[in-house]
Amino acid sequence: MRASRTLNIGLCGLGTVGQGVWKHFGRLRADLESRLGARISLHRAAVRDLGKARAVRIARSKLTTDALAVATDPDIQIVCELMGGVETARRVTLAALTRGKIVVSANKALICAHGAEIFAAARRGGGHFLFEASVAGGIPLIKAVREGLVANRFPRIYGILNGTCNYILTKMEELDAPYASVLAEAKRLGYAEAEEALDVEGWDTAHKASILAWLAHGVWVRPEQMIVEGIERITPADFVNAEALGYGIKLLAIITRDFDTDQICVRVHPTLLPRDSVIARVSGVYNAISVTGDVVGTTLYIGRGAGQDATASAVISDIADAVALLVHGKGAQFMGEETAPADGRARLMPPERIRGRYYVRLTVADLPGVLARVATIMARNRMSIASVIQHPCDREGTASLVLTTHESDERSMRSALRALARLSSVRGEPLLLRIGDLGD
């Protein structure tokens, strides 16, 4: 080993991911040191509770409850922010970057909320911010988009970015089981958090979509500016209907750009995808992302999007990049860090102007004339119906009415939905899903 210099790593957060990093790093250290030409030490870790039992063995002297002390420790060159949450994580990240340290982060909520501030702090302080683990877990997607596909502009990036939702949707379809019972089982198995809202309502996916949109287009899009819809209202019947129409249902992030108008669309919603497409067939906790570049065509990336080991794999690859940067210089992975990673010219298309095809499921009174009233409302909103499936509901006297439409836009669809919801013969809230003619 040629190592001389010692680089110290500080961990802020020693939960599932932090312990995964600690565990695997211990095993890999000698190998990484020999490849990178430096000694690397896990120097200190900040935890919430010093006394808590952990699966990894760490000398008590290395632990502190003060994450900021780790971030500002002059002996530490690389800070891994693995706490989650936004406010403390932001303070820790900015404190480290201001001091010229390298921060490795898996915190998509933080990046989405404060990415611009974080990258500005890195620029000013001479630090660097690495975030491979924040999107698509163990799949090296950030590196692929940023470096491997540097010759490309990206007319379309879309995919499954939340393993919890994909697990729930997969099980609902496989077992013909309702959302609530599958969610409960997912919690029991540890595939869903006790507080599931961030995942199932689509916000976690939106955070990741925001990061990908920034990488690809140099623009920060906030979840509030996107269409963000979750999976909570999908029923087993929707999978049956989708199948009859030739589709599967996936929660997708979709980021598209029209390079003629320089408008981008960023949205997160359950999507009907052709059943024989690769992404429609990705099941369980896996993530799958389709990246279309204007030179390379479409490339597809599949792997575990979360979990201790997959996330640790990504964090450790960032640590290796950080060590290489400190030992050998910046290299390709940091190019464009001082400017935006892409041109930044793109403007966000207002969500109501996004065009697409739709799937609408209504529960209606099983009476003559209902379909006529529904069809009239659709026509008034210039929505052209492509297909109709009607069948009796479990609830007596009601029927399930499923419409699919030809291409229209969000404004028309929403206006139609509001009118449909006001019909006396429509029971409960209509369910809207979107049809993704995305190909692979």
The residues assigned a catalytic role are 208
User: Segment contacting a second copy (CB under 8 A): 184-192, 254-262, 314-322, 375-383?
Assistant: 314-322
Considering beta carbons, is residue 115 or 230 the nearer one to a second copy? 115
Q: Can you tell me which of 75, 343, 352, 437 binds a second copy, judged by CB under 8 A? A: 343
Partners of 269 in the β-ladder: 252
Checking DSSP bridges between strand 286-293 and strand 247-258, what pairing results, if any? Answer: unpaired
Q: How far is the CB of 440 from a second copy (least distance, A)?
A: 8
Binding mask 213-252 for a second copy (x = CB under 8 A): ----------------------------------------
Q: In DSSP terms, which residues pair with 103 in a beta bridge?
A: 79, 129
Question: Which one, 69 or 301, has the nearer CB to a second copy?
Answer: 301
Amino acid (one-letter) located at 284: G
- Nearest CA to 358 out of 269, 249, 435, 254 is that of 435
Rule CB under 8 A: is residue 31 a binding residue for a second copy? yes
- C-alpha distances out from residue 200 to 79, 131, 196, 197, Å: 30, 23, 6, 5
What are the tokens at 69? 């002390």
- If one asks whether residue 202 binds a second copy (CB under 8 A), the answer comes out as no
* Residue 56 makes contact with a second copy by CB under 8 A: no
Strands 355-365, 426-435: pairing kind: antiparallel
Q: How far is the CB of 278 from a second copy (least distance, A)?
A: 6
Task: Note whether 282 binds a second copy by CB under 8 A.
Answer: yes
**Measured from the CB atom, is 218 or 351 closer to a second copy?**
218
Residues 67-106 that bind a second copy (CB under 8 A): none
The rounded distance, in Å, linking the Cα atoms of 406 and 85 is 41
Exactly one of 303, 356, 430, 436 binds a second copy (CB under 8 A); that residue is 303
Asked whether position 32 contacts a second copy by CB under 8 A, the answer is: yes
> Per CB under 8 A, does 336 bind a second copy?
yes
Rounded to whole angstroms, how far apart are CA atoms 247 and 240? 9
Which C-beta is closer to a second copy: that of 140 or that of 155? 140
- Residues forming beta bridges with residue 435, ordered by sequence position: 272, 357
* Burial of residue 373, with CB atoms counted within 10 A of its CB: 0-12 exposed, 13-18 middle, 19 or more buried: middle
CA angle centred on 231, ends 226 and 237, rounded to 5°: 135
Residues 6+ apart with CB under 8 A from 211: 108, 111, 112, 115, 131, 134, 135, 142
Q: Is 165 in the site for a second copy (CB under 8 A)?
A: no
Among 300, 375, 419, 423, binds a second copy (CB under 8 A): 300
Q: Which of 68, 86, 150, 386 binds a second copy (CB under 8 A)?
A: 150
> Which residues does residue 129 pair with via DSSP β-bridges, in sequence order?
103
Binding site for a second copy (CB under 8 A): 24, 28, 31-32, 34-37, 132, 137-140, 143-144, 147-152, 276, 278, 281-282, 293, 295-304, 309-310, 312-314, 316-317, 320-321, 324-325, 328-336, 339, 341, 343, 440
